[in-house]
């Protein structure tokens, strides 16, 4: 004999995960974490669209944040004082 069910009409509410895991908030957190790491002088990699539009195999490429954003503010001050 089969086991008796404890509830006859229990259905899901359709809620999966929490709002914290929404794609927009995850992407924003990642960008803020990357920005914080860059400001501390760490090596941060960014994914950007490939400037070479003829290369269809790689639509996105990884580059270092210093190539895109430049030097972090505290390193700019050190360079300007040195010269």
**8 Å CB contact between 38 and 65:** yes
**Residue 70, domain member (yes or no):** yes
CB 27: neighbour CB atoms within 10 A?
10
pTM (predicted TM-score): 0.63
Token reading at 57: 């195999």
**Residue 56, domain member (yes or no):** yes
Question: What pLDDT is stored for residue 48 in this prediction?
Answer: 94
Instruction: List the pLDDT tens digit at each of the 83 positions of the chain.
Output: 677 666 667 777 776 666 666 667 778 889 999 999 999 999 999 999 999 989 999 999 999 999 999 999 888 877 777 76
**Residue 20, domain member (yes or no):** no
Q: How far is CA 38 from CA 2, 21, 75, 81, in A?
A: 60, 24, 11, 21
Question: What pLDDT is stored for residue 83 in this prediction?
Answer: 62
Domain that holds residue 35: 25-82
Domains in the chain, number: 1
**8 Å CB contact between 44 and 38:** yes
**8 Å CB contact between 47 and 34:** no
**Residue 6, domain member (yes or no):** no
**Residue 8, domain member (yes or no):** no
**Residue 68, domain member (yes or no):** yes
| Distance, CA of 8 to chain centre | 43
Question: What pLDDT is stored for residue 22 in this prediction?
Answer: 66
């Amino acid at each position: 004999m089969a086991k008796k069910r404890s509830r006859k009409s229990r259905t899901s509410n359709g809620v999966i995960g929490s709002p914290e895991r929404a794609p927009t908030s995850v992407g924003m957190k990642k960008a803020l974490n990357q920005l914080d790491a860059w400001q501390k002088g760490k090596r941060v990699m960014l994914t950007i669209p490939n400037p070479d539009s003829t290369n269809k195999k790689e639509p996105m490429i990884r580059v270092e944040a210093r190539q895109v954003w430049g030097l972090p503010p505290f390193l700019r001050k050190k360079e300007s004082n040195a010269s």
